[in-house]
Amino acid sequence: MSFPLNRPRRLRRTETIRRMVRETRLSPDDLILPMFVCQGRGIKDPIEAMPGVTRMSADNIGIEARETFAAGVPAVILFGIPERKDAIGSEAWNDNGPVQLAIREIKERAPEMCVITDVCMCEYTDHGHCGALAGGEVDNDATLELLVREALSHAKAGADIVAPSDMMDGRVGAIRHALDTNKFSQVAIMAYSAKFASAFYGPFREAADSAPKSGDRRGYQMDPPNAREALREVALDIEEGADIVMVKPALPYLDLIWRVKEKFNVPVAAYNVSGEYSMIRAAGRNGWIDEERAMMEMLISIKRAGADLILTYFAKDAARKLSG
């Protein structure tokens, strides 16, 4: 049966009817706010390539986390910017490092906030790669030991979830084993399972000062054209004990969010990365796009594709828009 009997426009006539037949809903519960923590006190330092985002010292992170929770966002993910970097990134497991201090501040000021930590070496190494180097390449198995130390230090500081983003083989299993044998069996793992070598991380690398000094990350992050390999990565991470799996970036990989959601029965997270954020902010500031509508349309597309959780720098703005 078709026109004139069928007129889909009948259900688009008024906002009330559109509300009634809306298929996908975004909620502040779906959102996770990424935050950059630096050393010191009283610091709130704007990041040029990410208008509206700042690097903050732990005390300010605590204050901001409390406001974010009050806006309805249930979780943050922390990235550390240490003062000292070395070849193996040893500041990553300093129990008084920026991330560890920020976890404690957040637990004090917003005790119900779920605190997730990014577990990776690239912000902590002087060469900017995601692990220890050997012969010009990142040494997979030697890096596992470093990631384990970092994850344990975050767990000790009170992290609820650790999120390895390095793409080393076997890291989820190594971290799960270390947590379980050190009385942290309650700490969950959100694995960056299908993380692609993407141009969309550009602004983040300025924010975290984590660009590799030589070469690139294509020897460990995934090749953008590969979808079956992404499903294999997800399967391996679930086998190794991942509680939540992630696809990253989100927009250029919406097909994979959908496929992961269809195939696996664990929560699926998607990372709406820095480049996706900055494109909209920049176009909005130039008056080329309606920033708020573009933000909401982008987030709903990620949800519609199947994401249960969305990591986004827009988390607080979107939560306020949704509840106001």
Choose one: 54-62, 117-125, 139-147, 234-242; the region binding ligand PBG (CB under 6 A): 117-125
Angle of CA points 296, 12, 29, to nearest 5°: 30
User: For ligand PBG, which is the closer residue by CB, 187 or 273?
Assistant: 273
Q: Which has the closest alpha carbon to 26: 72, 65, 76?
A: 72
Question: What angle in degrees, to the nearest 10, is found between the helix axes of 315-323 and 291-305?
Answer: 90
Residues between 215 and 234 that touch ligand PBG (CB under 6 A)? 217
From the CB of 47, what's the least distance to ligand PBG, in Å? 11
Paired sense of beta strands 44-46 and 54-57, if any: antiparallel
Percent of the chain that is helix, strand, coil (3-state, to 5)? 45, 20, 35
Residues between 149 and 188 that touch ligand PBG (CB under 6 A)? 165
User: For ligand PBG, which is the closer residue by CB, 32 or 322?
Assistant: 32
- Selected from 196, 204, 220, 314, the binder of ligand PBG by CB under 6 A is 204
Q: Does 117 bind ligand PBG (CB under 6 A)?
A: no
Separation CA 28–CA 289 (nearest Å): 24
**Cα-Cα end-to-end distance for the chain:** 41
Q: Does 201 bind ligand PBG (CB under 6 A)?
A: yes
Choose one: 94-102, 114-122, 152-160, 289-297; the region binding ligand PBG (CB under 6 A): 114-122
- Give the start-end residues of each E strand in the chain: 31-38, 44-46, 54-57, 75-81, 114-119, 133-134, 137-138, 161-164, 188-195, 244-248, 268-272, 309-312
* 248 classed as catalytic: yes
Paired sense of beta strands 161-164 and 137-138, if any: unpaired
Q: Does 124 bind ligand PBG (CB under 6 A)?
A: no
Q: Does 143 bind ligand PBG (CB under 6 A)?
A: no
Q: Does 47 bind ligand PBG (CB under 6 A)?
A: no
Residues whose CB is less than 8 angstroms from the CB of residue 298 and which lie 6 or more positions away in sequence, other chains included: 251, 272, 276, 280
From the CB of 120, what's the least distance to ligand PBG, in Å? 3
Which residue out of 85, 107, 248, 316 is catalytically annotated?
A: 248
User: For ligand PBG, which is the closer residue by CB, 122 or 245?
Assistant: 122
Separation CA 236–CA 230 (nearest Å): 10
Q: Does 120 bind ligand PBG (CB under 6 A)?
A: yes
**Contacts with ligand PBG: how many residues (CB under 6 A)?**
10
265-284 mask for ligand PBG (x: CB under 6 A)? --------xx----------
CB 76 within 8 A of CB 60: no
* 195 classed as catalytic: yes
H/E run at residue 124: none
Q: Does 69 bind ligand PBG (CB under 6 A)?
A: no
Separation CA 130–CA 210 (nearest Å): 9
- Selected from 91, 118, 240, 317, the binder of ligand PBG by CB under 6 A is 118
Residues involved in catalysis: 195, 248
Query: Which residues are near ligand PBG by CB under 6 A?
Result: 118, 120, 122, 165, 201, 204-205, 217, 273-274
